Every structure is written in C-alpha cells, then in structure tokens.
Chains A and B, each alone.
Chain A
Amino acid sequence: MISERTRQTIRRWDDGLARVEGHAVTLLMLALIGVAACQALWFNLAERGVSWAARALQASAWADPFLHEGTLCVAFLGASLATHADRHFAIDLATRVAPERVARGMLRAGALGAALVSFALCAVFFEASLASDASVPFEYERLTVGGRQHVCDAARAADAAPLGLCGLRAALAWAGVPVSTFGGAAQLVVPLALSIIGLRLLARAAGLLALARDRSRSGDGAVRNAQTEVAS
C-alpha cells in the first residue's frame, strides 16, 4: 500500500511541474501573439513604403519557424497540462454508463494502457526528432578549410556564432542529445512532454493522482470530458 504522505508528495510534485509548464506556455502564447502581430504590422507598413518596417521584416526571417516550433511546444506542453487536469478527449460512453466502481477500474486500466503507449510514443518521437535534425541546414553551416562545419564548430565564425544556439547545443550534447538547430531543440519538447504525460498517467493508474471524476465529486475538479471541462 502507498502511504498518504507519498501520495501527497507526488501530488505536490505534479502541481509544481504543472505550474512550471503553465508559466512556460503563458510566455510562449504571448510571444506567438506578439510575433504574429508584429509580422502583420511590419508587412503592411512595408507595403506602404515604410523603410524601417521593411528592414524589420527582412530581419525577421526567424519568425515563421518560431511560430511553427512555438506552436508545437504549446501543443505538447498543453497536452501535458491536459493530462495534469485529466482533460483529454476520450470515448467515455462505456465509463459513463457503467456502475461507479466498474467505471473507476476501467479508467485506471485505460490510464495504464495510455501510459504505456505514451512511453512508446516518447521513444519513437525522440528517434524521429533526432533523425529530422540530423542533416544540418545550409544557414547553420560555414565553409572552413576543413570543409563544411556547423556554425558553432567553425572556428572562423566563432565571433558570429549565435550564443544562444551554441549554448543550448553544447548543453544538449553534454546530455547526449545531438541537435544542430533551434528547431531540432524545440522538437525535443514532444518526447519530453510525452514522457511527463506517461508518468502522470501511470501515477493515475496507480491511484497516486486522482481521476477527474473523483475530483469533481470532491469539488476541486470538473467533469471528465475536455469539452465538458471547458463548459463547467
């Protein structure tokens, strides 16, 4: 049997992690709004002959990739938050009509199955994200005496090396995860979020985290379906 203290510790960790995820997605969402709004503004001003807007637009080639990768991060961190709140979409026909005890057992079994799938997907997505980042895009390379090198590795370009990317790349390389672009690093959010989702589902299957239907009864949660959750 798991003690109540362990249960509370796990819930505290889970809530703390959700807070961190919440702050991250808040910043990301605001950044997405800001970048897309600036793009629209600059484009329309540039089209009307405003030179600084044209320059700003030219300098914002990173904006579209940022919007794509940012949305990917929002999506998967959001999915992790949805797991925290037990708000995922599910076919809940059987659990809706089954007696309470049976329904709870079914939901726990479903959470266990979903946890295993999440871990398997995590491995698959990790492999795929590394594979998709394996070929270094042209703009991340420099031509050196020794041939083409990544911008962070090319000594000649050291002064111009983007510190953020090189720092992130070095940190991830230290952890044994080779990435060459910001996009590649951002894609790692998918396996990361899937592993957190898997852990949360596992904890729910083991009864360490409450099911939404239990929480709704105790008044600190809401109903099962994600849509119903919004409505409530």
Chain B
Amino acid sequence: MGLSIGLLIALLALSGAPLFAVFGAAALLLFARLPATPLSAVANDVFSERFADSPILVTIPLFTLAGVVLAETGASRRLVAVSRALLGWMPGGLAIVCVATSALFTTFTGGSGITIVAVGGLLLPALLEEKYPQRFSLGLVTAGGSLGLLLPPSLPIIIYGVVAHIDIESLFIAAFLPGLVTLAVLSVYCGLSYRANHLRSPPFEARAALVALWAAKWELLLPAALLAGLGFGVLRIHEAAAFTALYVLVIELVVYRELRLRDVPRVIRKCVSLVGAILIVMAAAIGFTAYLIQANIPQLVLESMQTFISSKWTFLLLLNVLLIFVGMLMDIFSAIIVVVPLIAPVAAHFGINPYHLGAVFLLNLEIGYLAPPVGLNLFLCSFRFERPMAEVYRAVAPFIVVLLVCLGIVTYAPGLSTWSSRLVLPLSMQSVAARAAGTHELRQHETSTEARAAPSAMSGVVAPAAGEDLEDLAGAAELRTREPDLAGLGVPSPVPPIVKPNPL
C-alpha cells in the first residue's frame, strides 16, 4: 500500500504536475490510510495560525509586489550605474559591480532568476567590452542570479522563517553577515581574475558617481529606510512590507514615471500569480507536514540518523551535500517547504542554532541554482544569452568552487550567524517590546498585541532569538506548554521537546 502510494506520487511529480497537487495527493492518500482521522485534517491547519492567520503571510505578496515593480522599471539600470560609478574603478571593478548589483536586485526580487535577465543582460556586454574573458563573464552573471538571497528582505528568508517557525527579523539579522561574506569572497575572486587577465579599470569620476547616486537616490533609500523602520520598532514586519510596496509604487509612478497607472493592475496580476503559485504549494505542504507530524516521521528520521551520525560537523557536511542536490532539482521555495520540516528537528538535536541552520540552508540553495546538470540558473543563462549548456557548465564551475568556500566558512563558523545577531537583536527586541506595551492600551485586540509583543511568538510558538543557546530555551518551555499547538506552521519546531504529535 505504502509503496503504491509512493509510486503514484512519484509518477505525478515526474509528469510535471504542479507541486501543490503532488503534496495534496500525498497528504490525501496518507491521511486516508489513518482510520481515525478525517480527511479534513489535510485542510484544518491551513485555516489556523499555521498559515491563514500567520501575521507573516501578508508580507509575502507585499514584498513580492515591490520586487516585481522594481523589475518592471529601470531600477536595474540605475543600480548598475551607481555600482559602476562607485566600484568600477577598483581592480575587478566591473565584476564587483556585477556582484553588488545582482545581490541588491535579488534581495528585492527573490530568487526568481530575474536578476540574470535584468542585471546580467545589462552587464554581460559591458564585461565583454572591458575585455573580461567570455567564460568568466558568463559565469559571473549566472552566479549573480542567486546572490543576495541571504540579505534582507529577501523572500526566501521570509518563507524559511514562516516554515521553520522562527522569528523573521532575527533571521534577517542572522543571515546578513554570511550574505556579506559571500559577496566579499566573490569580490576578491573577481579582483584576482582581473589581475590574472591584466585588465584595466576606468578611473574614478566623482561627478559621474554623484550623478548616478542622485538618479538612484530613491531606490537606494529603500533598504536603509526599511531596516531603520524595523530596527527602531516604527514598523512591524507586515507594515514594513506594506511600506516597501507603497514606497516602490509611489517612486516608480510619481518620481521616475517609468510605470503608468494603467500598468499597475498588470504588474499586480503578475505578482499575484507568482505569490499564488508559492502559497498554494505551502498550503498543500502544510497538509502533508501535518501527516508527517502525526506519523512522527521527524522523530523516525532523527533516530535513524543518530545511528550513523554522531558529530554535528558530519551532519552539517552531509546536510550541505543533500541541500545542494535538492537545490539543483527543486526551486528554492519548494525546497524550503519540503526539506525544512524534516531537517530542522534533526539539526536541533545536534545543537545547531536554528538561525545558523537558516543561513546554511539558504546558501546551499543559492549554490544549488548553479549546480549542473539541472540548476535553474544554468537554463536561464543558456536561454537568455543563447549559449550551449556545456559552455555555461564550464563557465560557472569556478564560481561554484568559490561559493563552496563561502559555504564552508558559513557552515563551520556558526558565530558568523549567531554572533552578529547578539549585537543587534537587543535594540530591535527592546523597541518592539516597548511598542507592545503601548499597543496593549491602544488596542484591545489581544491577538495583534501578542504578535506585536513578540514577533517570534506568532502563531503560538516561542522561537529562540538568533544567537540564543538552545539550553536557554529550557526557560521558555513553560511558555510553550501554554500553547495547545506547538509545532507551528505544520512544521516541527527546531527544538526537539516542541515536536509533538499533532492533536488532530
């Protein structure tokens, strides 16, 4: 019976059926095997705080809209101009421009591959014009397509936070330094390549830099305003998302006038169909993970892994191999939804901080986008620049090696994720808590007050702040037990004691 269900699901998946149908079929068939559980168990959690009532869910369409609007307008051109004016004079300057612009653009547009088209399309001819080797240039724009996934407010970070049920703001902070390290290492590689090829950069022109900065000032203000708003507690995360969407719409409609009012419905439709494609997979996956929890699968995975893995570092190594493979086969959103519920409890067992795990996870998927033979960015690059796949494989190989070095650093130096957040988190948390105190008087709406008081406690789960030792969580156990549903978004929480069979 189990084998035939597995075969059916595999056939459905291989036939190119939408992923939500694959998860939905798996959930329906598996729950049908449980005699005492009604089939509506597949859907119950979708209407709970695990999905529909999660305060984070609304950020997904709003941040996506901002990204789609930026991609529709001349933002990429302006960002390239700024980076080129500010960094172009350095050794390997134009290549570093490509790294910086791609990262900034991907941060706002998510890992959608749009960067290759928008930024890569602008920079590949420029790189070739400045005599960068063709293979290097092609590899760089392809690798650039997934850079920036670790920088806030990248959509994959938000999705990861929702699925792993950890505080999004802390995850933003935790992933920030690993993201910067990745960009720095790639920039060093670009500088070395520049020297090896005896290239020349144009001199720095202050006037050109000022002109470019002035032209892109509104877009450059956005990340700063967003981080300040979140950091000082002026905006909750969903308000920050609304602010971002509104800000981007206003500047592109009114200031730059590169978007006409009549284009707005089209852009929103484009955004919403992407959001819908992501969220329906999440909804179906919640039904599937409800079964996993009911059947105690994460516990079984943990027990079987314990038999042949004893060290945290071995686990991380195997995790990296697995995730690169997953990233190669699946898009980033599906990979997060499918894999996080299974590995989070195991990682917690090995004492891995959930925020460190998030950074490692996302960096792996960033590399998976480039991994031959079927990484998505390889196809996009081949399609966009009309180059044979074999040439693209050769072009990205050195960049994969560089990114693997970054992965090694991020994986085996957990302080990079947890140390940075220890520094910044108190300010953010204090301001949020201060707001919460005011909210209680202003709003007699208990649910929203709770969400404001502790973003990490949304959906009834107390998640550790980045940098918080797992041992410290023992004190939070009492809080957790007050909540009837501790597994969060249909996902086993990273801390083993929280993993309980779902009382469906």
Contact = CB atoms under 8 A, between A and B. Distances in A.
Contacts of A80: 276
B43 A75 contact: no
B152 interface: no
Q: How large is the interface on B (under 10, 10 to 19, 20 to 34, 35 or more residues)?
A: 35 or more
B270 A230 contact: yes
Nearest to A120: B28
A91 interface: yes
B271 A118 contact: no
B448 A227 contact: no
Interface in A58-81: 58, 61, 64, 67-72, 74-81
Q: Which residue, A25, A74, A81, A91, has most C-beta atoms of chain B within 10 A?
A: A91
B58 A71 contact: yes
A91 B21 CA distance: 11
A92 B113 contact: no
B164 interface: no
A69 B16 CA distance: 31
B351 interface: no
Given A68-B57, A89-B281, A96-B374, A81 B276 contact: yes
Nearest to A67: B58
B56 to A, nearest CB: 10
Contact of A64 (B111, B264, B445): B445
Given A74-B272, A121-B284, A110 B53 contact: no
Contacts, number: 273
B363 interface: no
A68 B284 contact: no
A87 interface: yes
Interface stretch (B174-182, B434-442, B495-503): B434-442
B246 interface: yes
A87 to B, nearest CB: 6
A128 B71 CA distance: 38
A18 to B, nearest CB: 8
A71 B57 contact: yes
Contacts of B384: 231
Interface string B1-35: 00000000001111111111110110010000000
B272 A81 contact: yes
Contacts of B239: 36-37, 39-40, 43
Contact of B40 (A39, A69, A128): A128
Given A64-B55, A68-B52, A187-B47, A226 B274 contact: yes
A35 B277 CA distance: 24
A168 interface: no
B435 A47 contact: yes
Contacts of B447: 64
Given A58-B444, A225-B331, A227-B331, A91 B274 contact: no
B397 interface: no
Q: Which residue, A87, A109, A110, A224, has most C-beta atoms of chain B within 10 A?
A: A110
B352 interface: no
Contact of A82 (B13, B62, B245, B273): B273
A94 B65 CA distance: 32
Interface stretch (A9-17, A26-34, A147-155, A156-164): A26-34
Interface stretch (B92-100, B339-347, B375-383, B420-428): B375-383
A166 B44 CA distance: 26
A231 B113 contact: yes
B464 interface: no
Given A91-B14, A110-B12, A128-B47, A227 B112 contact: yes
Q: Which residue, A84, A85, A224, has most C-beta atoms of chain B within 10 A?
A: A85
Nearest to A232: B117
B312 interface: no
A184 B276 CA distance: 20
B117 A231 contact: yes
A95 B16 contact: yes
Contacts of A187: 47, 52
Contacts of B277: 78-79, 82, 87-89, 226
Contacts of B238: 36, 67
B331 A75 contact: no
9 contacts: A46-B438, A47-B442, A72-B57, A78-B61, A89-B18, A90-B18, A94-B16, A111-B17, A121-B24
Given A72-B57, A78-B274, 20 more contacts: A32-B242, A36-B242, A43-B442, A68-B54, A75-B276, A75-B283, A79-B277, A80-B276, A81-B269, A89-B19, A91-B22, A106-B14, A110-B12, A111-B17, A114-B17, A117-B28, A120-B24, A226-B273, A227-B331, A231-B117
Interface of A: 22-23, 25-26, 29-30, 32-33, 35-37, 39-40, 43-44, 46-47, 54, 57-58, 61, 64, 67-72, 74-85, 87-96, 103, 106-107, 109-111, 113-114, 117-118, 120-121, 124-125, 127-129, 131-132, 187, 190, 201, 223-232
